Amino acid sequence: MSEALRYGISRYTLYKMRDSGVLERVSRGIYRLVELPPISQPDLVTVSLRFPKSVVCLISALSFHEMTTQIPHAVSVAVSRNARMPSLDYPPVQAYKFSEDAFQAGIERHLIDGTTVQVYSPEKTLADCFKYRNKLGMDVVLEALKLYRSQRQVNRDALIKYARVCRVEKVMRAYLEVSL
């Protein structure tokens, strides 16, 4: 909506286009042309459009990197400690406040259907999962580590680097020594 208003399209025109079936409402304030092909990851795109400074993390990042069999019930995002917590009716958002160092480390930018989506790298995501292992469940974390190992070249230096940033190096090192 805000982008359309910047280009001189009135709210009235947008509502008229929506009512006539030219536009569809994706979420509050987010519309798209009906004739466009479906969005490949609509929840991530919607959250990234509404909260461009947030970063997809934990289960949502594991799912994005195909390192879990879990289906996220909400989009997990990280925000800086001093940022406002994001809230959205649909899709549901689970926000986590990260320290500035942990928030800035390991961000990758991916272009999904013309929208830039910030997602933590696989290694940073694993470190975050170890940090939140009591909330996520150790079975989710170990499955992610196993899938990480089987799908890509293991970057042990990056894993240790992000484990230090997330202050879980000692815990993570023990699991890395056993599994890698």
Over residues 120-143, the pLDDT tens digits come to: 999 999 999 999 999 999 999 999
Strand-pair partners of 32:
24
Residue 148: band (very low, low, confident or very high) from pLDDT cuts 50, 70, 90: very high
How far is the C-alpha of 174 from the C-alpha of 180, rounded, in Å? 10
Range list for CATH 3.30.460 in the chain: 37-179
Query: pTM of the predicted model, to two decimals?
Result: 0.80
* Torsion region of 60: left, alpha or beta (phi above 0 gives left; psi -120 to 50 gives alpha): alpha
CATH of the structural domain 37-179, one choice from 3.30.420, 3.40.50, 3.30.450, 3.30.460: 3.30.460
